[in-house]
């Protein structure tokens, strides 16, 4: 019996195309891999070092992912608390506080904040937070906080410098060169400092310093400065004589320099005049007790 055989040409062609495609994919993959390995071969690392690097990267990624999951689930807080407890039991807790740099301020205010750290475990001490608390203290201009394991906190303080005394309506306040209030001061102790008064004077302390620096020969003679009308200064000398200066930083400085020059020639400070008015500089008016009219003096460059 004759058998009819039918040639399946379509299946053969499909298989051939599939095999061709597979060969192309393998060829492309091999080319890509060979290119990557050629690029890696150009790096100054051995194959073993590269494998280690890839392993570390994979492990680091796993750890980062684990930390991410822990943060989401709140497990990090539990671990932190447990670690702090273990560290504290092992002796890593705040037992000593070493304070450096304090000369005038009360150190107890520093100790109170240092020993107030949560649980006193060294691992739980918030160094930045503690520094921020210290900077809130009036006398502290800057501070540095560090751990000295196992049980000591080291605190380095930079104090503000006392500069002058500010007259408040009800008390005298010691202030630094920027006008920051440091602490109340008694009137007897205040005599050693320049007295500053007047509404808004606290904000003008640095400008006053610059003004007095313009005439250094007079600085030791000035015992008080009054900020008048939020626009100008009256200076009082140790002889209780008063000098009224004009408005404006430049005009006031020029007038004070002219007065210093005139004082060098005529010895105005300690003289007969009770007050000097230079609000219309370069002309100066002197009020002399017993005279109804103020005496006028024109201050020029030749004086």
Q: Per-domain residue ranges for the chain? A: 91-159, 198-298
- pLDDT-above-70 percentage for the chain: 66
Average pLDDT of the chain is 80
CB atoms within 10 A of CB 123: 15
* Tens-place pLDDT, residues 253-289: 999 999 999 999 999 999 999 999 999 988 999 999 8
Edge-to-edge order in the sheet of strand 152-159: 96-100, 152-159, 140-148
Average pLDDT over residues 97-104: 93
Query: At 242, phi and psi to the nearest 5?
Result: -115, 140
Distance CA 214, CA 210 (A): 7
Question: Given CA atoms 269, 274, 280, 284 in this order, what sign does their dihedral have?
Answer: negative
Which tens digit of pLDDT belongs to each residue from 107-128?
A: 999 998 888 765 577 777 889 9
Q: Rg for the chain (alpha carbons), in Å?
A: 41
Q: Are strands 194-197 and 164-167 parallel, antiparallel or unpaired?
A: parallel
Q: 249: Cβ–Cβ under 8 A, 6 or more apart, which residues?
A: 207, 210, 211
For 250-264, give one letter per residue: b (16+ CB within 10 A) or e: eebbbbbbbbbbbbe
Residue written as tokens 């230079």?
A: 278
Class of CATH domain 91-159:
alpha beta
**Residue 150: predicted pLDDT:** 84
Residues 281 and 258: beta-carbon distance below 8 Å:
yes
Q: At what angle do helices 205-213 and 249-266 cross, to 10 degrees?
A: 40
Q: What is the structure's pLDDT at 151?
A: 84
| Residue 100 bridge partners (DSSP) | 156
Q: What is the mean pLDDT of residues 210-218?
A: 96
Q: What is the pLDDT of residues 136-172, one digit of tens each?
A: 999 999 999 998 888 889 999 999 999 999 999 999 9
């Amino acid at each position: 019996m004759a058998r009819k055989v039918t040639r399946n040409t379509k299946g053969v062609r499909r298989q051939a195309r599939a095999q061709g495609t597979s060969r192309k994919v393998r060829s492309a993959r091999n080319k890509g891999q060979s290119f990557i390995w050629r690029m890696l071969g150009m790096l100054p690392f051995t194959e073993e070092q590269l494998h280690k690097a890839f392993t570390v990267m994979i492990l680091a990624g796993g750890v980062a992912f684990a930390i991410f999951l822990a943060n989401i689930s709140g497990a990090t807080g539990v671990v932190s608390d447990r670690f702090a407890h273990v560290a504290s039991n092992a002796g890593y807790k705040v037992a000593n506080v070493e304070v450096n740099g304090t000369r005038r301020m009360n150190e107890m205010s520093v100790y109170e904040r240092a020993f107030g750290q949560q649980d006193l475990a060294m691992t739980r001490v918030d160094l930045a937070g503690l520094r921020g608390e210290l900077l809130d203290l009036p006398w502290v201009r800057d501070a540095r906080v560090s751990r000295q394991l196992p049980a000591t906190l080291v605190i380095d303080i930079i104090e503000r410098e006392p500069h002058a005394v500010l007259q408040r309506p009800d008390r005298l306040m010691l202030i630094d060169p920027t006008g920051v209030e440091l602490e109340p001061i008694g009137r007897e102790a205040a005599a050693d400092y320049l007295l500053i008064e007047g509404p808004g004077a606290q904000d003008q302390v640095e400008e006053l310093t610059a003004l007095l620096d313009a005439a250094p020969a007079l600085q030791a003679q000035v015992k008080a400065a009054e900020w008048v009308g939020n626009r100008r200064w009256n200076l009082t000398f140790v002889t209780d004589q008063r000098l009224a200066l004009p408005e404006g930083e430049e005009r006031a400085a020029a007038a004070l320099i002219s007065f210093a020059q005139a004082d060098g020639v005529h010895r105005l400070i300690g003289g007969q005049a009770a007050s000097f008015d230079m609000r219309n500089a370069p002309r100066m008016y002197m009020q002399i007790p017993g005279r109804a009219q103020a005496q006028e003096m024109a201050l020029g460059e030749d004086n």
